[in-house]
């Protein structure tokens, strides 16, 4: 090859390389632009979903006030005995709440799930109060939850008898007296007196044969007799009513009890003459504890999102317990999961492939949601670890973590603010929501709160209290106190057994 030809070839090669380099640069620039555009598009789609979530979960104070008004209306319908009322406003037959004067030995049985508790307490009157208490927790074998009533209550009575046998010298039963028991039974019951009530239906995984329509106290009493246990049930109570009794014993200004846990409910002290459906003689105290069963409240005013509607539709009880599904620990984590799933589908939040774990209903529990929500580290390390464990995404960006925490915040805030609206409605019903017209000082008002959601989810409980203050206003809120009544239902049942003792008139 001649020199001229070689030079020509070299020039051609250089030109080709140059063109290739230019094309490569253009291609990489184009790919970068496409990637940048895709990222921007994902962000736009994520922002659109988040904006819609914020809008549908919004709870402005004016809305909360109208929800409280709607709840008061339903409370009044329930107290009239309106069969279409959403709130059943069950009469508890508890007209004597503990005063602090109770003394003696009393037992309690708290049955509300797969475990039950037996408890004994020695009361020493106003000076000594609770002298000593002991309790034991017993697991119910799964087969007894779907067996016969005799099998279930014989098992419970046997455990109770065994517990009584361990009664030490620190506990003293006056000679000639029968042991008395407060029975906390946290299933729907049509109560007919302070110590009797028929089962309406089983819940929480129980399906015991031959019990619906039967008196639960009678079944327990017969089982205790078969065990040779001489004990009388003097109070049958719902766990919320028990919490109210325990709260009143510790603080005489308690007027209501609210449970914010896996589920939710509230009980409060109502004037007996404000209960039109009450047909008996008015109690001497002039008061009656009402079990609202407020979880069943629903109203077009409640801010229901597409996620709530889908969750309700797929639930075991569609159209029921709507208020409970918006504010209780059973459901908050599931609402967060559904929103994250929408973000995964519509905005590829966790990458191009939707994590299969995220498709599983209730895989994200409220305690996990709480842990993610409370993560205050600069890189949200705890939140990232939770997403890895629950969703199965090993590596999430800081932006994804912040979005997840924001979703937790939105769902928790709505639930807490709606719970506060419920408490506000009770205060409105009993006239404790504003200063007296005559200018006198507003009485101190205490709300006893129990349940793991309120106790352990601090951002939730703080929001409940702040919202209640907002709804009441500065002056009225200064007289209202929210107080944790940890595990009040068990000792509350024992206290109600004491305040409704068969020997009360003798003392």
The DSSP secondary-structure symbol of 10 reads H
Q: Which two tokens stand for residue 98?
A: 């503990």
CA distance 191 to 175: 32
Cβ-Cβ contacts under 8 Å for 322 (sequence gap 6 or more): 296, 297, 298, 302, 304, 312
Q: Which of 495, 506, 368, 422 is nearest to 103 (CA)?
A: 495
Question: Which residue out of 95, 154, 215, 239 is catalytically annotated?
Answer: 239
Helix (H, G, I), strand (E, B) or coil at 291: strand
Q: Which of 88, 90, 65 is nearest to 77 (CA)?
A: 88
Annotation says 41 is catalytic: no
Are the C-beta atoms of 449 and 426 separated by less than 8 Å? no
Annotation says 239 is catalytic: yes
Output the CA–CA distances (angstroms, integers) from residue 327 to 303, 424, 482, in the order listed.
Answer: 12, 15, 17
CA distance 24 to 21: 5
Question: Which residue out of 43, 201, 204, 309 is catalytically annotated?
Answer: 204
CA distance 474 to 485: 24
3-state secondary structure string across 458-501: HHHHHHHHHHHHHHHCHHHHCCEEEEECCCHHHHHHHHHHHHCC
Helix or strand holding residue 104 (H, E): strand 103-111
Q: Which of 321, 324, 279 is nearest to 80 (CA)?
A: 279
The CA angle 385-387-388, to the nearest 5 degrees, is: 65
The DSSP secondary-structure symbol of 296 reads G
CA distance 489 to 112: 11
CA distance 333 to 408: 8
Q: Which two tokens stand for residue 418?
A: 């709606």
Are the C-beta atoms of 203 and 253 separated by less than 8 Å? no
- Kindly list the strands in the beta sheet with 231-237, ordered across the sheet, starting from the edge strand earlier in the chain: 130-139, 115-124, 103-111, 179-185, 231-237
Judged by phi (left if over 0) then psi (alpha if -120 to 50, else beta), residue 478 lies in: alpha
Q: Which of 111, 128, 102, 291 is nearest to 203 (CA)?
A: 111
Cβ-Cβ contacts under 8 Å for 235 (sequence gap 6 or more): 94, 181, 182, 183, 194, 195, 493, 496, 497, 499, 500
Are the C-beta atoms of 254 and 247 separated by less than 8 Å? yes
Q: Which residues are catalytic?
A: 204, 239
């Amino acid at each position: 090859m001649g020199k001229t030809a070689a030079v020509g070839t070299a020039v051609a090669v250089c030109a080709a390389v140059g063109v290739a380099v230019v094309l490569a640069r253009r291609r990489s620039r184009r790919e970068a632009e496409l990637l940048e555009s895709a990222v921007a598009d994902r962000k736009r789609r994520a922002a659109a979903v988040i904006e819609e979530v914020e809008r549908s979960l919004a709870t402005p104070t004016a809305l909360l006030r109208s929800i409280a008004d709607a709840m008061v209306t339903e409370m009044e319908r329930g107290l009239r005995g309106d069969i279409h009322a959403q709130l059943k406003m069950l009469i508890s037959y508890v007209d004597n709440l503990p005063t602090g004067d109770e003394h003696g030995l009393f037992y309690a049985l708290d049955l509300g799930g797969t475990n039950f508790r037996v408890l004994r307490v020695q009361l020493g009157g106003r000076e000594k109060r609770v002298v000593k208490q002991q309790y034991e927790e017993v697991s119910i074998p799964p087969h007894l939850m779907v067996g016969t009533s005799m099998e279930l209550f014989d098992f419970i009575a046997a455990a109770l008898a065994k517990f009584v046998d361990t009664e030490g010298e620190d506990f003293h039963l006056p000679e000639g007296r029968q042991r008395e028991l407060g029975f906390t039974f946290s299933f729907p019951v049509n109560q007919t007196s302070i110590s009797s009530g028929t089962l309406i239906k089983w819940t929480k995984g129980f399906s015991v044969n031959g019990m619906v329509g039967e008196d639960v106290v009678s079944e327990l009493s017969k089982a205790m007799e078969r065990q040779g246990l001489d004990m009388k049930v003097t109070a049958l109570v719902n766990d919320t009513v028990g919490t109210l009794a325990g709260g009143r014993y510790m603080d005489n200004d308690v007027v209501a009890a609210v449970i914010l846990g896996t589920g939710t409910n509230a009980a409060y002290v109502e004037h007996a003459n404000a209960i039109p459906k009450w047909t008996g003689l008015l109690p001497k105290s002039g008061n009656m504890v009402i079990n609202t069963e407020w979880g069943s409240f629903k109203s077009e005013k409640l801010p229901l999102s597409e996620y709530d509607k889908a969750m309700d539709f797929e639930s075991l009880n569609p159209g029921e317990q709507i208020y409970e599904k918006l504010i209780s620990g059973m459901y908050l984590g599931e609402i967060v999961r559904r929103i994250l799933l929408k973000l995964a589908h519509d905005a590829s939040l966790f990458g191009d492939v939707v994590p299969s774990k995220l498709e599983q209903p209730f895989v994200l529990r409220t305690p996990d949601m709480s842990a993610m929500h409370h993560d205050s580290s600069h890189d949200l390390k705890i939140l990232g670890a939770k997403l890895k464990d629950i969703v199965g995404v090993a590596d999430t960006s800081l932006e994804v973590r912040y979005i997840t925490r924001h979703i937790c915040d939105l769902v928790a805030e709505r639930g807490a603010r709606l719970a506060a609206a419920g408490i506000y409605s009770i205060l409105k019903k009993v006239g404790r929501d504003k200063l007296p017209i005559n200018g006198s000082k507003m009485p101190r008002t205490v709300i006893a709160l129990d349940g793991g959601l309120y106790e352990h989810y601090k951002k939730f409980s703080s929001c409940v209290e702040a919202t209640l203050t907002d709804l009441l206003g500065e002056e009225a809120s200064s007289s209202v106190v929210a107080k944790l009544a940890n595990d009040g239902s068990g000792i509350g049942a024992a206290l109600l057994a004491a305040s409704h003792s068969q020997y009360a008139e003798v003392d």
